[in-house]
Chains A and B, each alone.
Chain A
Amino acid sequence: MSKIEEQSSGGNQGEIRYLTPLNIATVSKKKYCRFKRSGIKYVDYKDPDFLMSFINDQGKILPRRITGTSLKYQRKVSLAVKRARHLALLPYIGDLVKEE
């Protein structure tokens, strides 16, 4: 951060000087719980396409720190994924699950 400010203010110490501040996102976008935001109260296990967004390529359930889901709905998501797996709507294990 300090370096960028020096560069943007045109300090002579750096070899490369920029007239405009570099376009680097210093503040990352805040993650949010999509269930809370869009008001979904029930996670349906019958919709594998929707649940696809909560599993990775191997078919594992993604952690909350990546999807941003709140704890309340993460529990429901994991239950729904497990139900979908039981009904062979989602695989238990797999390679490149999402590309199929």
Chain B
Amino acid sequence: MQHYETVFILNPVLSESQIEETVKKYQKYITSAKGEIIDTENWGLKKLAYPINKKKSGFYQLIEFSSEGDIVSDLELQFRRDEKVLRYLTVKLDKYALAWSQKRREKLKSKAEKPSEEKEQESQPREPVNA
């Protein structure tokens, strides 16, 4: 078993339900090939640094999974055949990368939990300035 991480860019013309559908399709493929999905991240609509297929933005999606190595080529073949996918990148994660991604996940989690607290802290010093 190896750990992999794949990022792909979806066509920005798609509706949100279509995006969910395609992401689920790939997740299903990984689980059906005895892979285990560790984490998914949706980066949302992002501006591309340069146009790809005359498109200036795209939906980024990240899937981290562990599986046998032979499914990667099949997964990439599906990406290549899929017109909705503008770009894809699959990387093998070494032990340092694994530690890094775990840290990143914890950071994102704590960020998702704490936004209300941070806002309160920000607003406190501002109030006396206004008064």
For B100, give its contact among A42, A88, A90, A92 (CB under 8 Å).
A42
Q: Please measure, in the bound complex, the distance between the C-alpha atom of A89 and the C-alpha atom of B7, giving whole angstroms.
A: 12
Closest A residue to B87 by CB, please name it.
A87
Interface code B58-88, partner A: CB below 8 Å = 1, 0 otherwise? Answer: 1010100000000000000000000000010
* Chief secondary structure at chain B's binding surface: strand
Interface size on B, residues (CB 8 A): 18
- For B88, give the chain A residue with the smallest CB separation: A87
**Interface residue count on the A side (C-beta < 8 Å):** 16
Q: Is the CB of A41 within 8 A of B50?
A: no
- Is A91 a contact of B49 with CB atoms below 8 Å? yes
A83 in the interface (beta carbon within 8 A): yes
Binding site for B on A (CB under 8 A): 41-42, 44-46, 48, 83, 85-92, 94
The 3 closest A-B pairs by CB, nearest first: A88-B48, A41-B96, A42-B96
Sample 8 A-B pairs with CB under 8 A, ordered by A number. A42-B94, A42-B96, A42-B100, A44-B104, A86-B87, A87-B9, A88-B87, A91-B50
